[in-house]
Structure 1
């Protein structure tokens, strides 16, 4: 079966007619594989660039493509009605920032920067015809950007047992894909009266590597502040936290010694959400409530486009097969991958951190590269950096931070050249808010 085409014929929508006294309204046309959502008019002289996914990467690339290529027809496809930021969402869980701080209108930036926003779900691709299939019809493109984030790979735990996967998502949401699960998790935290919360961490690479530890700290702060008799057990598949481990270890031991227990090498072997039991390589654990994060993989759209990489044995890596410097798909240089779906980059460090900062930086680079291609200029390989701030205490507010820098060696390979870390400090809080506001101002 051709994976590029297997989703190109969605079920016909069942649309009835509406009868009104003295007025007859015809039913909308049924959507099928030949329905064109945005047919070209012939008046457009520039390239058509379709962006799938309206998160940090998608909205940033849309803004800069319109700025760099004014005659381009830039179309952003996003199924969610509003933009919801992953960065700062942990602070939102414990009411340090408001909903309006992380949840934003998408129509205003589309109108401001001049790109077309369509709220629809991407359900397939025909790359030979350069066509995206959506729930509302197909859209042709000259260049395609996939910026759909991640998928929760519950199948790694449950195989084909969709009921167990949906039960887990519904009862123990991890809220790593905006935005409905975030409200569910916040409501659960506010209703928590005590007991043991287990938090499973995905194996690397996963979305925003330090954020689960930040979430644990802020949930622990909520428990501590409200005198709730609760504990949090972090089941970490890694042997240690990573570059920022000392900062988090100090927070666990100094701020929440009676609340947080960090268990390393806790690779998940079996999850029983019905009986609230987890088996890991570090032992078995029962829980009263949980934040169950399965392994992360590239978003569904990268799978639909048949652009997932393979390892030496031929098995899917779960992430995009892409050029490590130019961000194009290795099998189709008219397709770019931006943000968390990006695949293997370097033998030294593996993947870029799957963070909002990296998504924003790569989106600007990709916009510049498409401009260079369409204007006949040399395409220059530019690398991002990464910067993450993590709040570990709510009163007084204190944060830690980490910054990574990258460069090309003499052979053209991408290397991580510097890691800067800051210990827990109140001064970093203002830096964090300055950073997020500058990014929001840039694409929102």
Structure 2
């Protein structure tokens, strides 16, 4: 018989993390020189920061395009949470297991390294990413961190007010516990006025705040909850899918939803539940406060934020509009919602999961072409979004975007709104997301 004591005695102490006294040794302290992962092989090292739709897609396709590359994906969350379909999850059209996906499976299947950590700094001059677990060097870097909630645009240095707003009136537009808090808020709401502030454009998934208002209104309607939803929209009209959403508001929820255009926030008093806007002042019982969106923190860390003609920071990445690398550093690529201006005609690509997935594949191909010494081929994406507006019958509307190079050499956008709500569009939505999950997650 092998006793536990003899098994421990026969094992090397270092292999078990034991000190000379036989006690478990304390983990080594992290320093500025701690190496997160030593180099492996002779191929290029490509580090992807952010494991959302863009980052996971990039990691998967980089292993295909550059088979000898060492691909490292850095992500702070322990599992993948899909913001697409999360509005439907709020009213239980899909369950939590549908939105949450294992991140280790695709990493093992496609052969990249997944490390859970927080990005805390980027030194482009040394080609180093600093993380909560140590530093890692790179040959190519992809920043795919999505957005940041720019509460400081409203509150400046008043961190207490920003934190109070975030914790009491969460926006739930970044994968986190805020989604669970919002769902609980909706299902525990007994009545009164709910205010939704929309971020000024560009912002993540432009049509989704209106979808959120619709699914909330449907829930309140069928459960006879005396609720009013005020959508404070900084834009002059509902967009995109304006006619479809207007029909849903007027025909399905006329006594619940009020859309207020030109309602850019001037001042917010979260403690006394009052919002001052350019369209008037509003008191509320509950709120979903969506602050302005900007590029993720990691783009700021890398000092790659663009500036406008007056020299003011735009909040979005300064990048090549066709090749997607930073203008100041062609070894750094920006993928997904952090991307900057693309065209003078339409500004930014829609900050959507579909675009992030598409651009990530293009960037993987472009890096592969560079590694092989080939000419880099500039490609254009497309975009597709479906939005649920009715819970019974379950009906959706949609919008498509197509891109081409115009006579002036700039990217031009064609937008097609599908304003008539139908069950068929919701079925298409599930086909779309199943295909996407199969593409980079399964």
Bin of the TM-score, shorter chain as denominator length: over 0.9
Partner of 1:24: 23
The answer to whether the aligner puts 1:153 opposite 2:157 as a matched pair is no
Partner of 2:436: 439
For residue 103 of structure 1, the aligned residue among 100, 114, 125 is: 100
Name the CA distance, whole Å, in 2 between partners of 1:403 and 1:279.
Answer: 34
Partner of 1:242: 239
For residue 172 of structure 1, the aligned residue among 164, 169, 172 is: 169
Given that residues 151 and 291 in structure 2 are in contact (C-alpha distance below 8 angstroms), is that contact kept between their aligned partners in structure 1?
yes
Name the CA distance, whole Å, in 1 between partners of 2:413 and 2:19.
Answer: 66
Name the CA distance, whole Å, in 2 between partners of 1:426 and 1:92.
Answer: 17
Distance 1:21 1:347, change over 3 A: closer
> Which of 413-422 and 351-360 deviates more?
413-422
The answer to whether the aligner puts 1:207 opposite 2:180 as a matched pair is no
Matches within 5 A, 1:5-24: 23-24=22-23
Name the CA distance, whole Å, in 2 between partners of 1:443 and 1:64.
Answer: 8
Name the CA distance, whole Å, in 1 between partners of 2:70 and 2:90.
Answer: 38
The answer to whether the aligner puts 1:80 opposite 2:81 as a matched pair is no
Tell me by how many angstroms 1:253 deviates: 0.1
Name the CA distance, whole Å, in 2 between partners of 1:368 and 1:251.
Answer: 41
Normalised TM-score (structure 2): 0.94
Partner of 2:9: none
For residue 333 of structure 2, the aligned residue among 333, 336, 349 is: 336
Name the CA distance, whole Å, in 1 between partners of 2:198 and 2:425.
Answer: 25
The answer to whether the aligner puts 1:349 opposite 2:342 as a matched pair is no
CA offset digits 1:361-389 (Å, max 9, x no partner) = 00000001001100111101101001000
CA offset digits 1:191-243 (Å, max 9, x no partner) = 10111000000000000000000000000001001110111000000000124
Name the CA distance, whole Å, in 2 between partners of 1:261 and 1:19.
Answer: 64
Tell me by how many angstroms 1:409 deviates: 2.3
CA offset digits 1:234-285 (Å, max 9, x no partner) = 0000000124100000000000000000000001000000000000011100
Given that residues 406 and 418 in structure 1 are in contact (C-alpha distance below 8 angstroms), is that contact kept between their aligned partners in structure 2?
no
Q: In structure 1, the residue corresponding to 2:337 is in which secondary structure? A: helix
Structure 1 portions without partners, runs of 5+ = 1-17
Aligned length: 425
The answer to whether the aligner puts 1:263 opposite 2:288 as a matched pair is no
Matches within 5 A, 1:44-83: 44-83=41-80
Structure 2 portions without partners, runs of 5+ = 1-16
Name the CA distance, whole Å, in 2 between partners of 1:352 and 1:81.
Answer: 29
Partner of 1:15: none
The answer to whether the aligner puts 1:120 opposite 2:89 as a matched pair is no
Name the CA distance, whole Å, in 2 between partners of 1:219 and 1:136.
Answer: 40
Given that residues 19 and 25 in structure 2 are in contact (C-alpha distance below 8 angstroms), is that contact kept between their aligned partners in structure 1?
no
> Which of 225-234 and 410-419 deviates more?
410-419
Name the CA distance, whole Å, in 2 between partners of 1:158 and 1:265.
Answer: 21
Given that residues 208 and 387 in structure 2 are in contact (C-alpha distance below 8 angstroms), is that contact kept between their aligned partners in structure 1?
yes
Matches within 5 A, 1:357-372: 357-372=354-369
For residue 427 of structure 2, the aligned residue among 425, 430, 444 is: 430
Given that residues 35 and 134 in structure 2 are in contact (C-alpha distance below 8 angstroms), is that contact kept between their aligned partners in structure 1?
yes
Name the CA distance, whole Å, in 1 between partners of 2:341 and 2:88.
Answer: 30
Name the CA distance, whole Å, in 2 between partners of 1:187 and 1:345.
Answer: 38
Name the CA distance, whole Å, in 2 between partners of 1:123 and 1:358.
Answer: 26
The answer to whether the aligner puts 1:134 opposite 2:131 as a matched pair is yes
Name the CA distance, whole Å, in 1 between partners of 2:285 and 2:329.
Answer: 48
Q: In structure 1, the residue corresponding to 2:92 is in which secondary structure? A: coil
Tell me by how many angstroms 1:68 deviates: 1.4
For residue 312 of structure 1, the aligned residue among 309, 313, 320 is: 309
Tell me by how many angstroms 1:24 deviates: 2.5
Partner of 2:371: 374
Distance 1:369 1:90, change over 3 A: same
Normalised TM-score (structure 1): 0.94
CA offset digits 1:137-178 (Å, max 9, x no partner) = 000000000000000000111110000000001000010011
Given that residues 171 and 289 in structure 2 are in contact (C-alpha distance below 8 angstroms), is that contact kept between their aligned partners in structure 1?
yes
Tell me by how many angstroms 1:359 deviates: 0.3
CA RMSD, Structure 1 to Structure 2 (Å): 1.4
Name the CA distance, whole Å, in 2 between partners of 1:236 and 1:150.
Answer: 19
